[in-house]
Amino acid sequence: MTPGQRFRIERMGAQGDGLAVSEDGRRLFAPLTLPGEVIEASISGDRVDGVQVLEASPERVPPPCPHFGVCGGCALQHWAPAPYTAWKTGLIREALAREGIETELLPAFTTAPGTRRRVALHARRRGREVVLGFKARRSWAVEAISTCVIADPRIVAALPALKLLAKPFFEHPKSAPTLHVTVTATGLDVDVTGVEARGGGLSADARVRASAAAAAADMARVTLAGEMLYQARLPMVRFGPAVTPLPPGGFLQASAEAERVMAAAVTQAVDGAGRLADLFCGAGAFTFPLAERSGVLALDASREAIAALAAGRAATAGLKAIDAEARDLSRRPLLAVEMKRLDAVVFDPPRAGALEQATEIAASAVPLAVGVSCNPQTFARDAAVLIAAGFRLESVLPVDQFLWSAHVELVGVFRR
């Protein structure tokens, strides 16, 4: 590590760190800085450490969380809302530009603090005590938290109970439990991973103690890597008109508020379609709002998600026909010939994108496609395939449901 040097922050990088330029022209990453600031710091590899802000940006604001700067969960609480949102929109614009794509970027939707309904909390032993929190910045260590300004208040209120719940999962010295906590309509659902399974797995005594801790806190369900440990009530979530069971460890959008906005954008884009496909449908976040107006073919690789969707469909009246099938669309995409009777296709793939599926949509005669993505880079790659086949990317809606992070979601509308 070198002695302190002066740097000017040129701009923000794609991961939420400032790009610092030294007096001799060297460029490095500078966390927790903002464009235009002058700092003094030491060089450590491709980054700077020990940042002291000599000239602060007028866009710098007091971070609302007492753990900010040490906790690695948030990177940008110190940035004023308007330039922060403009930067997130810029991430999408830059990803599209790298593929030569221009389109209308709609005003971004940003979730409010306190609306994150699922978090992953890490538990660690420190002597006889258990600490619960998030990974510290640039470290494997866990920063114990007493609050979280992005999380749903029901998660924050449950932190002491979740800490007690974690205790029985430390039987094996190599266990490093992570509690995946989700707020549902019927209570908290917790799936625990990172528990060493060698030596017979969790003992009967530990299972009893975990169940007792869950019962004392009135949690809906606790599972161990999907295996049932405790259930008082089936965790249920609402997707449009339907209330659907949530599979253990099942995928759910981080914010119900953002999910509603994305679902509204999707349904508005396909309004008037008689028959459509919802690809990578999960448990039905878009399927059920779509099925209020159109027949839907719903496909997803997760059999558990499809089973949950089927249960929600059976319990909901007034929907158009939903045909749901478990199908790995990365290995076996819906073929162009199978889309002959479709008026529109909706696709919401994981971060790796949907290149194989986009290729089939491009080869089909479907006139309308709507892509939902959590990765602007893979979205842009897939969009280029559709555009080359005659689609036009009509508009993109940026959605910021991972507040104060470098992640941004989007909804893009393609028309022939």
Nearest to 372 by CA among 382, 384, 362, 387: 382
Angle between helix 355-363 and 376-388 (nearest 10):
20
Task: Give, in order, the Cα–Cα distances in Å from 346 to each of 65, 102, 296, 299.
Answer: 37, 21, 10, 11
Helices (H), 99-140: none
User: Token pair 């028309």 is at which residue?
Assistant: 415
State the Cα–Cα distance between residues 24 and 62, nearest whole angstrom. Answer: 31
Q: Provide φ and ψ at 77, rounded to 5°.
A: -65, -20
3-state helix, strand, coil split of the chain in percent (to 5) is 25, 35, 40
| Beta strands at 109-110 and 221-224: parallel, antiparallel or unpaired | unpaired
What is d(CA 328, CA 183) in angstroms, rounded to the nearest whole number?
28
Buried b (16+ CB within 10 A) or exposed e, 105-128: bbebbbbeeebbbbbebbbbeeee
The three-state secondary structure class of 141 is: coil
Q: How many angstroms separate the CA atoms of 320 and 323, rounded?
A: 10
Cα–Cα separations (whole angstroms), residue 330 to 36, 143, 225, 314: 43, 37, 24, 28
- Contacts of residue 360, Cβ cutoff 8 Å, sequence gap at least 6: 333, 334, 335, 336, 339
374 among known catalytic residues = yes
Q: How far apart are CA 275 and CA 297, in angstroms?
A: 8
Which are the catalytic amino acids?
A: 374
